[in-house]
Structure 1
Amino acid sequence: MITEKVDLMKVKSCCINGKLILNDLFKLQRTGEIRAVQKVVVSAKKLFPDSYLFKKWGNHLSSEDQREAEELFQRYGYNAFLSDRLPLNRKIPDTRDPRCKRREYPENLPTISVILIYLDEALSIIKRAIRSIIDRTPAKLLKEIILVDDNSSNEELKGSLDAYIGIIRKERPGLVKKVRHKEQMGLSQARISGWEVATGDVVAIFDAHIEVQVHWAEPLLTRIKMDRTLVLTPVFDKVNFDDLQVTLYYPAADGFDWAMWCAYDGFRPEWYQLNDKSQPGKSPSIMGILVVDRLFFGEIGLLDPGMKVYGGENVELAIRVWLCGGSIEVVPCSKVAHIERAHKPYQHDLSITMKRNALRVAEVWLDDYKKNVYVAWNLPLKDHGVDFGDVTERKKLREKLKCKPFQWYLDNVYPMLDPWNDLFGYGAVCMLAFSQSNKSKTILKLNEKDSLWTSSLCYYRTNGELYIGGIKSHKYEENRCLVDTGEMPGLYNCKEAKKKGFHMYWEFKQGEAIKNRETNRCLEVRLGTNAGYHLILQECSGQHWTIKHVITEQ
Structure 2
Amino acid sequence: MVRSWRAWLRDVVVVLLFAWQIIALCVLIQHEPLLPRPASSSLSRTPVGDREVLTKIWKEFQLKKSISPPSNINESRSDELGLWRDLPDTRPHACRDVIHSHPLPRTGVVIPFFQEPFSVLVRTVQSVLDRTPDALLKEVVLVDDASENEILDEALEKYLSKLGGKVRLMRNFQREGLIRSRLKGMLATNSEAVVFLDANVEVNSHWLEPLLEELKKKPTTIVQPFVDGIDSNTMAYSAPQRPLFSGSFSWDLRYVWGQLPEHVEEAALKRGQPYWSVALVGCAMLVNRKYFESIGTFDSDQRIWGGENLELSFRAWMCGGSVVTVPCSRVGHIFRKTVYADVNTFQEVLQKNLIRTAEVWMDDFKKYFYGSAVMYKSKSSLTDDEKTSLAKRVELRKRLKCKSFSWFLRNVAPEVIIPSRRAVLHGEIANRASTACWDVADDRYITLNYLCWRHRVMTENVFTLTSDGLLMRGDSCVKVNLPNPSLLLGDCPERPSLEDGLWFFIGTRHVGQIQLRLLVKGAEKTFCIEHVTSITKLHYREQMPQIHSCDSKFTFQTWSFTYRFNHSMSSH
TM-score range, shorter chain: 0.5 to 0.7
Aligned to 2:461: 477
Whether 1:330 aligns to 2:325 is yes
On the 8 A contact 1:364/1:395 being kept in 2, the answer is yes
Alignment deviations for residues 65-113 of structure 1 (CA, whole Å, 9 cap, x no partner)? 9xx99x75x7111121122232322111111111111111123111111
Displacement of 1:493: 6.8
Alpha-carbon distance between aligned partners in 2 of 1:355 and 1:540, rounded to the nearest angstrom: 46
Aligned to 1:355: 351
Counterparts in 2 of 1:401 and 1:96: CA distance versus 1, 3 Å:
same
The 5-angstrom pairing of residues 133-148 of structure 1 reads 133-148=128-143
Aligned to 2:174: 183
On the 8 A contact 2:352/2:380 being kept in 1, the answer is no
The 5-angstrom pairing of residues 250-265 of structure 1 reads 250=241, 252-265=245-258
Q: Which amino acid aligns with 2:463?
A: N
Alpha-carbon distance between aligned partners in 1 of 2:423 and 2:465, rounded to the nearest angstrom: 15
Displacement of 1:478: 2.8
Displacement of 1:219: 0.3
Displacement of 1:224: 0.9
- Equivalent position to 2:421, from 415, 420, 423: 423
Counterparts in 2 of 1:186 and 1:504: CA distance versus 1, 3 Å:
farther
Residue-pair matches, total: 411
The 5-angstrom pairing of residues 53-452 of structure 1 reads 75-169=70-164, 173=165, 175-250=166-241, 252-267=245-260, 271-272=264-265, 274=267, 276=270, 278-288=272-282, 289-348=284-343, 350-378=346-374, 386-387=381-382, 389-390=386-387, 391-420=390-419, 422-424=420-422, 426=424
Instruction: Please identify, of 228-237 and 184-193, the stretch whose mean Cα deviation from structure 2 is larger.
Output: 184-193
SS of the aligned residue for 1:106 comes to coil
TM-score (norm 1): 0.66
SS of the aligned residue for 1:415 comes to coil
SS of the aligned residue for 1:163 comes to helix
Q: Which amino acid aligns with 1:237?
A: D
CA RMSD of aligned residues (A): 3.7
On the 8 A contact 2:251/2:372 being kept in 1, the answer is yes
On the 8 A contact 1:483/1:503 being kept in 2, the answer is no
Alpha-carbon distance between aligned partners in 1 of 2:569 and 2:302, rounded to the nearest angstrom: 27
Displacement of 1:117: 1.2
Alpha-carbon distance between aligned partners in 1 of 2:502 and 2:246, rounded to the nearest angstrom: 44
Displacement of 1:271: 2.1
On the 8 A contact 2:501/2:516 being kept in 1, the answer is no
Q: Which stretches of structure 1, 4 residues or longer, exceed 6 Å deviation after superposition?
A: 489-494, 520-524, 538-541
Counterparts in 2 of 1:490 and 1:90: CA distance versus 1, 3 Å:
same
Aligned to 1:511: none
On the 8 A contact 1:115/1:148 being kept in 2, the answer is yes
TM-score (norm 2): 0.64
Q: Which amino acid aligns with 1:208?
A: A
Q: Which amino acid aligns with 1:185?
A: E
Displacement of 1:522: 8.0
Q: Which amino acid aligns with 1:286?
A: L
Instruction: Please identify, of 142-151 and 495-504, the stretch whose mean Cα deviation from structure 2 is larger.
Output: 495-504
Alpha-carbon distance between aligned partners in 1 of 2:272 and 2:83, rounded to the nearest angstrom: 29
SS of the aligned residue for 1:143 comes to strand
Aligned to 1:497: 478
On the 8 A contact 2:142/2:167 being kept in 1, the answer is yes
Displacement of 1:416: 1.0
SS of the aligned residue for 1:243 comes to coil
Displacement of 1:340: 1.8
Q: Which amino acid aligns with 2:195?
A: A
On the 8 A contact 1:151/1:184 being kept in 2, the answer is yes
SS of the aligned residue for 1:225 comes to helix
On the 8 A contact 2:223/2:323 being kept in 1, the answer is yes
% identity of equivalent residues: 29
Structure with a larger share of its residues in helix: 2
Alpha-carbon distance between aligned partners in 1 of 2:500 and 2:130, rounded to the nearest angstrom: 72
Displacement of 1:166: 1.0
Counterparts in 2 of 1:279 and 1:523: CA distance versus 1, 3 Å:
closer
The 5-angstrom pairing of residues 450-469 of structure 1 reads none
Alpha-carbon distance between aligned partners in 2 of 1:376 and 1:239, rounded to the nearest angstrom: 31
Alpha-carbon distance between aligned partners in 1 of 2:100 and 2:502, rounded to the nearest angstrom: 67
Displacement of 1:378: 2.5
Aligned to 1:447: none
Displacement of 1:341: 2.1
On the 8 A contact 2:108/2:138 being kept in 1, the answer is yes
Alignment deviations for residues 394-420 of structure 1 (CA, whole Å, 9 cap, x no partner)? 011101111011111000000111122
Displacement of 1:238: 1.0
SS of the aligned residue for 2:264 comes to helix
On the 8 A contact 1:284/1:414 being kept in 2, the answer is yes
Alpha-carbon distance between aligned partners in 1 of 2:253 and 2:357, rounded to the nearest angstrom: 8
Displacement of 1:164: 1.0
Displacement of 1:347: 4.5
Unpaired segments ≥5 residues, structure 1 = 1-29, 32-64, 428-471, 508-514, 525-533, 542-546
Alignment deviations for residues 400-454 of structure 1 (CA, whole Å, 9 cap, x no partner)? 111011111000000111122x414648xxxxxxxxxxxxxxxxxxxxxxxxxxx
Q: Which has the higher contact order (CA 8 A, sep 6+)?
A: 2
